[in-house]
Amino acid sequence: MTGGAGFIGSNLAEELLRRNYGVIVVDDLSTGNMENLDPSIFLYNWDIREFDSLEKLFKIHRPKYVFHLAAQISVPDSVRDPKKDADINIIGTLNLLILSKKYGVEKFIFSSSGGVMYGETPPVFPTPEDVPADPISPYGISKYSAERYIIFFHREHGLRYTILRYSNVYGPKQNPYGEAGVVAIFTTRMLKDQDVEIYGDGENIRDYVFVGDVVNANILAMEKADGEILNIGTGKGTTVNELFEMLKKMTGYNREAKHVAPRPGDLRKSVLDWSSAKEKLGWSPKYKLEDGLKLTVEWFRENLP
């Protein structure tokens, strides 16, 4: 598993371990945290751009499944430095695909992004997978490019795959100090009684899906939905202002939000249709937003330094 010390990856690693799978993690720890992982998990502190290092791992462990979650995930950072974004998200993915083919990996499960895949104004909301991809940020472009390389390796070499396009994932262990993860950022600042900033007017709409549901989709994809690209979301949109008010109530926060300039590359609205995941994967979101937020706030309350 790449990116296994990060937010989604560490939650997935924990569930795989609970199901008695051997788990091997590659993570450069640029945003991940060793403390997120059980001590029994093999952790290689490597960058996915380092092909020779990765090959040593494939030679030694001969993984059956590759869960590829490592990525440059910040849309604003991708706008500022598109080359670095492409190096990690495209070249890093190619390294893993080449090695997966060479060492007989049975299935490649890729964490993609539905939130940036369908452009600024898709023709329908919630948006299904058959809407043509139209990413507007370098991050979205690199994720889509990685998807196309995965499909090429399937057609050319028979590599089995499932691509999961997530909406906005939130939950325990999310890093509150980067630019991604508004739930984690808001929760942390509210619990510390610090100012909370909202970009623009706060009416941007997002589809928030709980990390436990995302983990479940990955587990199901091990044996189902070969050759599929599937949205993983809830089909329900929530504005940033609405999210702020929900978290304000849960944390007991007494301040008002400060509105600042919008961020470059941010979409106005993104909501995903997950009906294909129900049909092909047998998946559905189990956590309502309010319930997932409560679990998230509880975790941050107990784990903030």
Which two tokens mark 158? 């028979």
Contact between residue 139 and residue 73 where contact means Cβ atoms under 8 Å apart: yes
State whether CATH 3.30.70.100 applies to domain 7-303. Answer: no
The closest alpha carbon to 31, from 88, 113, 114, 97, belongs to 88
pLDDT of residue 304: 87
Q: Can 139 be counted among the known catalytic residues? A: yes
Active-site annotation holder among 44, 65, 118, 139? 139
Q: Which residues of the chain have pLDDT under 70?
A: 178-180, 265
pLDDT of residue 178: 66
Q: pLDDT digit string (tens) for 63-110?
A: 999 999 999 998 889 999 999 999 999 999 999 999 999 999 999 999
pLDDT of residue 263: 80
pLDDT of residue 224: 98
Question: Which DSSP letter does residue 2 get?
Answer: B
Q: How far apart are CA 56 and CA 63, in angstroms?
A: 12
pLDDT of residue 214: 98
pLDDT of residue 239: 98
Which two tokens mark 34? 């060793």
In sequence order, which ranges of the chain are alpha helices (DSSP H)? 7-18, 51-61, 75-80, 82-86, 92-102, 138-157, 182-191, 211-221, 240-251, 275-281, 289-303
- Between strands 42-44 and 24-26, the pairing is parallel
